Chains A and B, each alone.
Chain A
Amino acid sequence: MNLNLNYCASLVAASVLFTATPSYAGNVPESDDTIKIMTGDWTSIGLQGEMMQLILQTVGYNAELVVADDSGRYPGFENGDLHISMETWQTTQLQNLEKSVATGKVLDMGETGLAGVEDWWYPSYMKDRCPGLPNWEALKGCAEVFATADTAPKGRYIGGPVSWGDHDERMVAALDLPFEVIHPGTDAAMFAEMKSAYEREAPIVMWVWQPHWLTSVYDGEYVQFPKFEVDCFDDAAWGPNSADTYDCGKPYGWIKKMAWAGGEDVWPCAYEIVRNYNMDNDTLAALLKKVDLEGMSSTDVATEWLMANDDKWKEWASCAM
């Protein structure tokens, strides 16, 4: 819906480039039913969803983007209301995905090749003011540095929006960190506070995830917590606090694609295209910067990249060629 001038310009360009329409395999699309691709309230899933939508539409499928909540998506996928998600993060969705795949109604469509990171992040200038960083134990000694009048003597840590379902409170308790977790209502508010602090070189520690434009614009690094292992969440004895779980950093790792199992029979070629799709952190970060900072629409960015990487997506879509 959100068309702008650039988009129209690129559409015209696209039509010129594709005047010699390739002849697609006769059986694609296998069905005219609309493929529903999930998008969410962060940029990268929207961009990658847009790319998949464009590829599928180009080879002849009906596809649309549907907004769903990160943690609330599973019933939709199990019922067949949602069909494809381009991003499922190990960091926060590991257990949910495993549980959902176990029902047999949801498919794990493989890794995207992206590595997700999300954890406590601080600007580089904080290293001088809190010696010992990035080691997490340094935070115990310099909570006062991060404190504001309303959290003092505890430090102020900005977590994610309440509905994103992180476990920062449990982590703070298990690691005995003298910090208070502040929840914004939206990610825009988080970055507003980061921008304000960064401009003034004021103390801040905040939940930041990657791939995201922030880490390519602001200079900083992640706090090194005890490295995540599955036991950390299940076994109280594991980790620095032998009496509590969650005494570790957030799980780093893969970002997977997932799909509704019932769709395998309806659009087999589309599912193969989704399985073939892959991406790397640097490429995606550069594209995200275009959307988030340079103000291009995700549709424009996706169109531009696909046209420049014609061979790549046509290889993914070889079953439709």
Chain B
Amino acid sequence: MKFRSDVVLLEPMRLLLWAFFFTFVFFVINIGPDWMSSFPEALIFPVAEKVGSGLNWFARDAKIAGVPMQEITRSVASFFDLIIDATVVVLSKGIFTGRGLNVSQLVPPLSWMSIGGCLAIVSYRFGGRNLIVITSIAVLFLVLFGLWQNAMVTLASVLVSVLLAMAIGLALGIWSFKSQNVENVTRGVMNVMQTVPIFSYLVPTLLLFGYGPSAALVATVIYALPPMVHNTVLALKSVPTETTECGVMIGCRPRQLLWQVQLPVALGRLAVGMNQTIMMTLNMVIIASMIGAGGLGFNVLQALRKLDIGSGLEAGMGIVALAIILDRISQAAAQRAANGKHLEPGQRPLWQLLVVWLIFSSVIAFIFTPMQTWPDAWEISTASFWNAAVTWVNMNLFDILEGARNFALLEIMRPFNRFLQSAPWSLVVASVVALAFYLGGFKLAVYCALLMFFILLTGYWAPAMASVYLITISVLMAVMIGYPIGFWLSSQPQLKDTANFILDTMQTLPTLVYLLPAVMLFRIGDVSAVIAVILYALAPAVRYAMVGMSQVSPALLEAAQISGCTRWQTLKWIRFPAALPTLLIGVNQTIMMAFSMLIIAALVGTKDLGQEVLIALNRSLVGEGLVAGFCVACLALISDGLLKAAASKAEVSTIRKINS
């Protein structure tokens, strides 16, 4: 991290700035003209309408070389549909003939025994005994709970999305690696892409590609692309110069250099990107099923629509099981690739084993049908238990929870919301700009000001402030709960695996599963929304607290022990300052997670940007959806900029303290 010498020079300027700021506050509150407290409507530019009609024109009437845009996008869509359909036919559906009521199955899909066995064989080859146990448990869970067939529909779309995202991500990453200009552009675009809520580009995607699996595929790929691009660039940059030079010396042409030297060396790092892409794709399963992707996400939605919370939970855990299989196998594959491991003597190539197993198991499944499709009668379900549990909590604990809800809503949330809503916009802008200047200097201040003016000029200031209120409360709670847990876990190494499993589950279990019980206990409205956001954003808070605390160098701790520090003193003077930069990044990640949950929170009835995006989605208002989404991105980028600046400032001061 580079040392910033300008921090010292800023001191007198900072005093001046504060003086100016307080004068400004008094001016705005007491004698400021009207336009400073409420933004003049005449200045609000109807961007949403313009964007909407532009996109509608593009999707319906625009022509490229005489071919209507709509035909191009629709044929791309039917191409994607073809690929997904083919995968679904193999994994889940089989081949049918006839139509309407006159259909009959001609060829069955691969049996659960075949697919499950293949996964087990791959697991054993890559990760040994531990991995095969994990995979088998996950496969059996899907089979026994009757989720297999839908899980395979999900797997089909996940596989196609991941492969497509990897191919595009790799190409973009290589291009960025070769040209600094391209890298600057892609990095900017990827940052925005990660913060714009996915719902807001669903509408344009639906417009271009029509309703169905292909639109879901495109939206998923857009969402899962950034980590692949980012990791490809990092991976290629991490290739030692010696290796590249060696390649050049032995006379590689540029293409040979890339494919036969640099990429193979970078494989371990690339696999990290692949892993991230898989996890992001699985995060999208629910949203994808809202626009016609089917599969497990659809099971969750359907179960929750009829308030069968138990079945929703089971289907949600099915998504977790799928995530665990794919995640663990891809991690093991990455490690293997990074270590450059190849076949051991006596081992057969993987593909031979798989082909033999597929033939063998298909024959078995043909003779003994439960191996093909698990009979309904043999399925187990814990749904009634969970439903009874929710009812019990509702009957017995509702009054206590209602008291807590009323307190939180009336004493904390409403006053805070009212404060933010009534704060003059000029004051908010000035405070943020001043803070940005203090933390990061002139550039950051201008950047934040521009982002805030985008929100003001597009007319989304009030819902944006409502989002700020929801995010602030949720993040504060998530950090207050998550950090102590993380601190405690960092001193309990034996709990690490359990903790990681729980955190993984929290991040891949679809939020909707706990959103509806929250509504039953805390009613429709902001309290339920905040609870859902807190639960989702808790995982990164705990993770970063664990990492931050375990990062403190042992030498420092030893020194503290020798000089006779108590545990509390060590925490306060050594551990905490050393962990502070990581902890601030953790807050940043928690905020980003919370932003990505805004739209889901809107499902229980919030009145913020999330709701604006949701309404736009339901009414197919392309422009409004996109612009409101960009406003969410603006908020996220502002907080990202401020916190990163704060983190590097904290780092600087820690280094100084340690040096002195």
The yes or no verdict on A and B being binding partners is yes
Interface residues of A (CB under 8 A from B): 1-6, 8, 11-12, 14-15, 17-18, 21, 41, 43, 53-60, 66-69, 71-72, 148-150, 158, 161-163, 182-193, 195-196, 199-200, 202, 213, 292-293, 295, 297, 303, 306-307
Q: Which residue of B lies closest to A57 (CB)?
A: B100
- Nearest Cβ distance between residue A10 and chain B, in whole angstroms? 10
Beyond A149-B410, A199-B394, is A2–B294 a contact (Cβ under 8 Å)?
A: yes
**B603 and A189 form a contact (CB under 8 A):** yes
Q: CA–CA, A303 to B394, complex, Å?
A: 37
Most chain B beta-carbon contacts within 10 A, residue among A57, A163, A193, A200:
A193
Pick 8 A–B contacts, CB within 8 A, sort by A.
Answer: A5-B373, A41-B618, A53-B100, A189-B516, A192-B516, A195-B520, A196-B519, A293-B306
Q: Which residue of A lies closest to B621 (CB)?
A: A72
**B406 and A58 form a contact (CB under 8 A):** no
Q: Does B376 contact A (CB under 8 A)?
A: yes
Chain B hits for A55, CB < 8 A:
100
Q: Which residue of B lies closest to A185 (CB)?
A: B603
- 6 smallest CB-CB distances across A and B, nearest first, come from A58-B100, A57-B100, A15-B104, A1-B294, A163-B618, A149-B406
**B101 and A150 form a contact (CB under 8 A):** no
B100 contacts which of A59, A69, A148 (Cβ < 8 Å)? A59
Q: Which residue of A lies closest to B298 (CB)?
A: A2
Q: Which residue of B lies closest to A43 (CB)?
A: B305
Q: CA–CA, A130 to B619, complex, Å?
A: 38
Chain A hits for B146, CB < 8 A:
5
Most chain B beta-carbon contacts within 10 A, residue among A66, A71, A192:
A192
Chain B hits for A12, CB < 8 A:
104-105
Interface residues of B in 51-98 (CB under 8 A from A): 88, 92-93, 96, 98
Most chain A beta-carbon contacts within 10 A, residue among B150, B303, B605:
B605
Q: CA–CA, A162 to B619, complex, Å?
A: 11
**B101 and A306 form a contact (CB under 8 A):** yes
Chain B hits for A189, CB < 8 A:
515-516, 519, 524, 528, 603-605
Chain A hits for B402, CB < 8 A:
148-149
A14 contacts which of B101, B304, B614 (Cβ < 8 Å)? B101
**B614 and A185 form a contact (CB under 8 A):** yes
Indicate the size class of the contact surface on chain B. 35 or more
**B523 and A193 form a contact (CB under 8 A):** yes
**B619 and A163 form a contact (CB under 8 A):** yes
Q: CA–CA, A195 to B276, complex, Å?
A: 39
Q: CA–CA, A213 to B308, complex, Å?
A: 14
**B524 and A15 form a contact (CB under 8 A):** no
Chain B hits for A158, CB < 8 A:
524
Interface residues of B in 288-319 (CB under 8 A from A): 291-295, 298, 302-308, 311
**A292 and B306 form a contact (CB under 8 A):** yes
**B395 and A150 form a contact (CB under 8 A):** no
Q: Which residue of B lies closest to A194 (CB)?
A: B307
- Nearest Cβ distance between residue A135 and chain B, in whole angstroms? 27
Q: CA–CA, A15 to B406, complex, Å?
A: 58
Most chain B beta-carbon contacts within 10 A, residue among A1, A12, A53, A182:
A1
- Nearest Cβ distance between residue A183 and chain B, in whole angstroms? 5
Beyond A72-B618, A185-B602, A303-B101, is A3–B92 a contact (Cβ under 8 Å)?
A: yes
**B605 and A8 form a contact (CB under 8 A):** no
Most chain A beta-carbon contacts within 10 A, residue among B93, B149, B517:
B149
Q: Does B342 contact A (CB under 8 A)?
A: no
Chain B hits for A14, CB < 8 A:
101-104
Since A15-B104, A163-B615 are in contact, a sample of 11 more A-B pairs with Cβ atoms closer than 8 Å, ordered by chain A residue number, is A1-B293, A2-B294, A11-B104, A67-B291, A148-B402, A150-B406, A185-B606, A189-B515, A189-B524, A193-B520, A307-B101
A54 contacts which of B100, B105, B311 (Cβ < 8 Å)? B100
- Nearest Cβ distance between residue B435 and chain A, in whole angstroms? 32
Chain A hits for B307, CB < 8 A:
188, 191-192, 195
Q: CA–CA, A57 to B100, complex, Å?
A: 4
**A57 and B394 form a contact (CB under 8 A):** no
Chain B hits for A54, CB < 8 A:
100-101
Q: Which residue of A lies closest to B102 (CB)?
A: A18
B295 contacts which of A2, A6, A213, A292 (Cβ < 8 Å)? A2
**B516 and A3 form a contact (CB under 8 A):** no
Chain B hits for A202, CB < 8 A:
398
Q: Which residue of B lies closest to A161 (CB)?
A: B618
B373 contacts which of A8, A60, A163, A188 (Cβ < 8 Å)? A8
Beyond A148-B523, A182-B605, is A5–B149 a contact (Cβ under 8 Å)?
A: yes
**B101 and A295 form a contact (CB under 8 A):** no
- Nearest Cβ distance between residue B613 and chain A, in whole angstroms? 11
Q: CA–CA, A191 to B516, complex, Å?
A: 9
A8 contacts which of B99, B105, B291 (Cβ < 8 Å)? B105
Beyond A2-B153, A14-B102, is A183–B605 a contact (Cβ under 8 Å)?
A: yes
Q: CA–CA, A2 to B605, complex, Å?
A: 28
**A192 and B520 form a contact (CB under 8 A):** yes
**A192 and B519 form a contact (CB under 8 A):** yes
- Nearest Cβ distance between residue B236 and chain A, in whole angstroms? 38
Q: CA–CA, A1 to B618, complex, Å?
A: 22
Interface flags for B330-365 (1: CB within 8 Å of A; 0: not) read 000000000000000000000000000000000000
Chain A hits for B528, CB < 8 A:
189
**A1 and B88 form a contact (CB under 8 A):** yes
- Nearest Cβ distance between residue B378 and chain A, in whole angstroms? 11
- Nearest Cβ distance between residue B640 and chain A, in whole angstroms? 26
